Amino acid sequence: MGLAENQLSFDLLESWLASNPDAVGMKRNGGSVFRELALFQDYHGLPAFKNELVKLMSKIRGDKVRFDSNKLVLTAGATSANETLMFSLADPGEAFLLPTPYYPGFDRDLKWRPDVEIVPIHCSSSNGFKITMPALEEAYERAQRLNLKVKGVLVTNPSNPLGTTLTRQELNHLITFAVAKEIHIISDEIYSGTVFDSPRFISITEAVIDRNLQETDLWSRIHIVYSLSKDLGMPGFRIGMIYSNNEKAVAAATKMSSFGLISSQTQFLLANMLADTKFTSKYMKENQRRLKKRKDMLVSGLKTAGIKCLKSNAGLFCWVDMRKLLVSNTFEAEKELWKKIIFEVGLNISPGSSCHCTEPGWFRVCFANMSEETLQVSMRRIKEFVETILIIGNGCSSKQQQRSGSVIGKWVSKLSSSDPEPDR
């Protein structure tokens, strides 16, 4: 339950493939395009594919924004897109502000090779972890005290790990802040197609247009990251992209994409799939319906165990409040609780500290990467575990320990394998 994969709607994709042999067999109008594809390594990307992507992005935003395929840069996954943006917008040692909690992989994607610093914007449960103006200002000042030059803010909208979309107010704070400080805004909108409930998704672009700032400097400091890994559940295909209004950034990122281009075979398949707009509409709608159902199942399951979740409307996970299960309000206690959940309950969930949350006791729990039956099993386990903890207080009785020890099985061996990858 630590891996944010979307496995709910493969049946829809599979049936599309069965009905579209041309896309599959690398044919166009019956004639083979294999040779063209095998040779195609142009870092501008397959035009047909980019055209479909901008149409898809527009549709996801309720057609409130139009995108230009010339401003789209294809990269091998959003992982590569974020790193590439760092290389393009910041020099080593410069900094980006990120609201906490944030996706743990950002530590690698932003800091590792580009050597960019992350300065967290502290968000708190007191207001549902929303971004506030004081928090933004405080982060900026902290960066200054550390002698770090802030180049921009990076937000994930919808948020990972919160599963919430940014409110209009938060977007406006970001915009006001970025205008005042003359910095970039990167909006990682990788989960934009997973919004399954109100409020509706408002993209950074829409928010800027609504403030009438398209003709100002800020416009060329707005960059969006997107991918098909979450919305279409195809992380293996490595389809990521950067959308930027900044010509120079697009030019630089395009050249950099040479280090991680998308396989032409995959570009061709997806260009065909996305061109079937009837299919993609149907898919997105159905996928969102299934995500909502699954999320509701998790939330109500946890509720019967007395566990609350942050109210969410998007994403493949819930942000779960387990603070009352902590023996003390510390990260050590969170770690202890986490170990218990992994080894005794047999559930792999992600502790808030790995997401740089400032308050201990929160966990990200994914719900879209398993069958319904498995989710039911997880719910039962959590319920039992919580009951045990709350009744006994500080741990399990020996009788309870025996019972819960039996679920250790494959989870332990899975965890002890080397090279754990950061959960997305």
Partner 1 sequence: MATLSKIATNDRHGENSPYFDGWKAYDRNPFHPTQNPEGVIQMGLAENQLCFDLIKEWISKNPSASICTAEGVDEFKDIANFQDYHGLPEFRQAVAKFMSRARGGRVTFDPQRVVVAGGATGANELITFCIADPGDAFLVPSPYYPAFDRDLGWRTGVKIVPVNCYSSNNFQITREAVEEAYKKAREANINVKGLIITNPSNPLGTTLHRDTLESLVNFVNENNIHLVVDEIYAATVFNSPKLVSITEVIEKMDSNINRDNIHVIYSLSKDMGLPGFRVGIVYSYNDTVVNCGRKMSSFGLISSQTQYLLASMLNDDEFVDNFLAESSKRLDKRYHTFTKGLEQIGIKCLKSNAGLFFWMNLGHLLKEQTLEGEMELWRMIINDVKLNVSPGSSFQCTEPGWFRVCFANMDDETVHVALNRIGAFVCQGQETSTQPTKKKRWQKKNDLRLSFSSRMISEESVMSPHKNMMSPHSPIPRSPLVRA
Which active-site residues does the annotation give? 103, 188, 190, 230
419 contributes a contact to partner 1 by CB under 8 A: yes
Name all contacts of 119-127 with Cβ < 8 Å and 24+ positions apart. Answer: 119/95, 119/143, 119/146, 119/148, 119/150, 120/356, 120/358, 121/97, 121/153, 122/358, 123/99, 123/358, 124/358, 124/359, 125/310, 125/321, 125/359, 125/362
Q: Supply the minimum distance, in Å, between the C-beta of residue 90 and partner 1.
A: 5
Q: Could you give the dihedral angle defined by the CA atoms of residues 58, 210, 195 and 354, in that order, rounded to the nearest 10 degrees? A: 110
Closer residue to partner 1 in complex, CB, 63/419: 419
Closer residue to partner 1 in complex, CB, 98/310: 98
325 contributes a contact to partner 1 by CB under 8 A: no
Closer residue to partner 1 in complex, CB, 256/375: 256
The answer to whether 271 touches 239, Cβ cutoff 8 Å, is: no
- What amino acid is encoded at 120 in this protein? P
Closer residue to partner 1 in complex, CB, 141/296: 141
235 contributes a contact to partner 1 by CB under 8 A: yes
**Near partner 1 by CB under 8 A, which window of 12-20, 163-171, 195-203, 304-312?**
12-20
Q: Supply the minimum distance, in Å, between the C-beta of residue 393 and partner 1.
A: 41
**Near partner 1 by CB under 8 A, which window of 32-40, 54-62, 169-177, 377-385?**
32-40
Q: Supply the minimum distance, in Å, between the C-beta of residue 67 and partner 1.
A: 21
The answer to whether 339 touches 214, Cβ cutoff 8 Å, is: no
Find the binding residues for partner 1 in span 191-220 (CB under 8 A).
217
Parallel, antiparallel, or unpaired: how do β-strands 317-321 and 350-351 relate? Answer: unpaired
The answer to whether 192 touches 86, Cβ cutoff 8 Å, is: no
Q: Supply the minimum distance, in Å, between the C-beta of residue 268 and partner 1.
A: 9
Closer residue to partner 1 in complex, CB, 186/337: 186
Which is nearest to 254 in space by CA: 3, 42, 28? 42
Q: Supply the minimum distance, in Å, between the C-beta of residue 198 and partner 1.
A: 29
Which is nearest to 348 in space by CA: 255, 267, 410? 410
Select the residue interacting with partner 1 from 48, 128, 206, 260 (CB under 8 A): 260
Distances (CA, A) of 41 to 20, 44, 203, 234, 257: 25, 9, 31, 21, 11
Neighbouring residues of 421: CB distance < 8 A, sequence distance ≥ 6: none
The answer to whether 176 touches 134, Cβ cutoff 8 Å, is: no
What character string, x for contact with partner 1 (CB under 8 A) and - otherwise, covers 93-132? -x-------------x----x-------------------
Q: How many residues bind partner 1 (CB under 8 A)?
A: 67
Q: Supply the minimum distance, in Å, between the C-beta of residue 5 and partner 1.
A: 6
Select the residue interacting with partner 1 from 248, 282, 324, 403 (CB under 8 A): 248
Quickly count helices (H) and strands (E) in the chain: 16, 13
183 contributes a contact to partner 1 by CB under 8 A: yes
Residue 190 gets the label, from left (phi > 0), alpha (psi -120 to 50) or beta, of: alpha
Find the binding residues for partner 1 in span 43-82 (CB under 8 A).
76-77, 79-80
24 contributes a contact to partner 1 by CB under 8 A: yes
Q: CA 137, 143, 149, 153 torsion: positive or negative?
A: negative
Peptide bond into 158 cis (omega under 30): yes
- What amino acid is encoded at 119 in this protein? V
**Near partner 1 by CB under 8 A, which window of 166-174, 193-201, 243-251, 346-354?**
243-251
287 contributes a contact to partner 1 by CB under 8 A: no
CA angle 28, 29, 35 (to 5 degrees): 35
161 contributes a contact to partner 1 by CB under 8 A: no
Enumerate binding residues for partner 1 (CB under 8 A): 5, 7, 10, 13-14, 17-18, 21, 23-26, 32, 34-35, 37-41, 76-77, 79-80, 83, 87-92, 94, 108, 113, 151-152, 182-184, 217, 221, 229, 233-238, 246, 248-249, 252-253, 255-256, 258-266, 269, 419, 421
